Structures are given as structure tokens and as C-alpha cells.
Amino acid sequence: MAHHDDKIRHVEISLIQVPLKNAVSDAKVLTGRQQPLSHVAVLTADIETVHGARGFGFSYTLRAGSAAIFAHARELAPFLIDEDPNDIGRLWEKLAWQGASIGRSGLAVQAIAAFDTALWDLKAKRVELSIGKFLGCYRTAIPCYNTSGGYLNATLDEVLRNVDTSLDKGLGGIKLKVGQPDLSKDIERVRAVRKHVGDSVPIMVDANQQWDYTTALRAGCELDEFNLVWLEEPLSAYDYAGHARLAEKLKTPIATGEMLSSVAEVQNLIEQRSVTFLQPDVPRVGGFTPFLRIMAQAEQHRLKLAPHFVMEQHVHVAAAFQNETWVEHIEWLEPMFNERLEIKDGLMYLPTRPGVGFSLSGQALEWRVAHARV
């Protein structure tokens, strides 16, 4: 039941370190830029109103930054007290202005994302709809693909076994990591997987920003023969013009956008015609509020959407996007939640549970490393 005079009574935030079963490596590790990834740090926000309405949201960070995102969220939380939780856009702006000195991208907005998602969760729960249905659906089942089986720390034999497991689970597409120092090894992997699955299974490849333009063009020309859905992050995430030049020369569509952390940065990709598949990330750009602005621009430019990671949130925006869309299946956060997404015949189904449709498991609370209540 909606109350017109409802106000936020308290806000609780937590930092949870979710361990990965096995540490994973992409091309950034092989080039010495990063260490293998072993944990995902998740910032959660619980918001409760005077009338007892509740909202749950979360954001995340990989590698360094978790202490900072928690600290910033703790500073912002008091500014939500006594506010009307329905005024989501205004509250986003209010929090953004508090942190204006550290900018409107990256950590500054990723802390806001947890609150923003909690407010959308609360609002959708009032009317007992999932966020996807609340926004308005174009579909309730979205094509999905698996990423976690195709990392470079896995041998080719392991990758092929992972591919079989993914397809048996009902996942639709397979994404492979590339960008090794030796390009012929990348091509060998992709060729082996294409041969293994046949022509009809969708395959995507992801270079994680590890090529320069010349290498990317060479690699892209060789990869063109495999009829890939897309070539992801061939260049630096901020090389908008380079991606646009590649897109003109290759048959394989270009996908990028996951590293960008503001509406303005993603707008650059769109305006410079750098991509066919736009890959923004709800928590990274600051929550559902900014993500909806990105969606509107993407629809206007007839782009396709394939949001990065966090399938628990992205299933909602993908359901509400007009054009072709994919959801990335990475199961890393599953142990955090009591609920699971339904997947069959290559499709991921929008939860019918209200709001985001997820609640924290007892296991998640054991992994909690910081906590504050305002």
C-alpha cells in the first residue's frame, strides 16, 4: 500500500566479501596488469520507511575500492533520512551533489547505486511487481550466455567441458576470453569451441581491452570467419574513436561499455558509433536511474544491449529494453542470495517476485566485513 506521506526512517549498509570458488584470469592478468580475481566485494543497502516499506539494493567492486565505496556510502546515508522514498530521481541528484567534489562517475556514483536500487526495489514492491514489470516489459525471457566457463586460466579441455556444462544447464551462448600475448592461441581456442558446438550456438569473444588498434584489426579479421555474436573490448574502454574505426572494418559486431561509469561516458560511445552491442552495468553507472537514461539513448540509436555481470539486476533492464538484448550469466553472486534465476532453452526468465527479487542468505551475513546503520 502506497503512503503519500511516507518517509525514510533508517538506512543500513553492509560490505560483503563474496569468495569465488576458483580465482579467474583474463587477458589483464596475462599481460601483468592485474592479479587473478578471487572475491567480489558487494555493498548492500537496506532502506526502511516510517510505514514499514522496505527496499534492498546492492552495488559491487572488483579488486581495490571496497573500503572506499563503503566509506562513501556511509557518508551519504544520513542524507536519505526523512526523505520521501518515491522521489528517486531527486534523491539520486541530492546524493550526487553531496559527492560533487569527487565527481559524477566511478566510486562517487557506485556508492549511490546501492541506495538507488534499494529505492526502485521499494517502489516496485509497493505495487507487487518485479522491477522489470514495473518499468514495462518487452519480454519476460531474455537470451543469455555464460562467461565464467571461458576464462584464460582454464585449459582448452576444461573450456570444452565447461561449454558442455553451460549448454546442459540451458544457457544459450558461450563467451570466451581472448587477448593472450600469442594471437594464434586465441584463434586456436575459438576454432576448437566453434567446431565443438557447431554453427548454431552463439559465441562471443572478449579481449578485456588488451589489444592496440593494429593487433585488434588483425585479430578481428581472423575472428570474422567464426560468425561471432560480437567482439568485446578489443581496445581501451575509453578509445571511442578506435572502436568506431574497428566497427567499420570488421564483419563481427563490436561490444563494449562495461568499464564506463557514468551516463556521459556511455553517451560518448553511442555518439561516436563505436558499438553495435552496448554493455553498460547498472551498479557501475550509478543504479537504475542513470541506466534508464542510457537505455533511452540506446533505443534512439537502434543499438543492442548486453549489460555486464550482475544478472540479478540486469534481467530487469533487459526485459524492459525495446531492441535485441542479452543477459550475461555469471554465477559468482549466487551464494549471497536465497533465490535463483530460472534458465532454460537458452533464456533467462524475469523473476515474478516483487522488486529486484533477491534477499540476502545467511551465508552472505557470515561474509560481512563492515556494517553501519543510520
Q: Interior CA angle at 297 toward 295 and 298, to 5°?
A: 60
Catalytic residue among 72, 123, 175, 177: 177
Q: What is the C-alpha to C-alpha distance for residues 98 and 204, in angstroms, rounded to an integer?
A: 40
Q: What is the C-alpha to C-alpha distance for residues 272 and 240, in angstroms, rounded to an integer?
A: 7
Catalytic residue among 243, 304, 308, 316: 308
Q: Any catalytic annotation for residue 177?
A: yes
Q: What is the C-alpha to C-alpha distance for residues 173 and 229, in angstroms, rounded to an integer?
A: 9
Residue among 64, 75, 78 nearest 111 (CA)? 75
Q: Which secondary-structure segment (H or E) carries 265?
A: helix 263-271
* Partners of 68 in beta bridges: none
153's CB contacts (< 8 A; 6+ apart) are 22, 23, 24, 25, 29, 36
Amino acid (one-letter) located at 239: D
Q: H helices then E strands: how many in the chain?
A: 14, 14
Q: What is the C-alpha to C-alpha distance for residues 340 and 85, in angstroms, rounded to an integer?
A: 27
Helix axes 263-271, 240-249, angle to 10 degrees: 30
Q: What is the DSSP letter of 85?
A: T
- Decide if 268 contacts 242 (C-beta within 8 A): no
- Find how far residue 235's CA is from the centre of its chain: 19
Q: What is the C-alpha to C-alpha distance for residues 369 and 189, in angstroms, rounded to an integer?
A: 39
Q: What is the C-alpha to C-alpha distance for residues 329 and 347, in angstroms, rounded to an integer?
A: 10
Q: Any catalytic annotation for residue 371?
A: no
Kindly list the catalytic residues: 177, 308
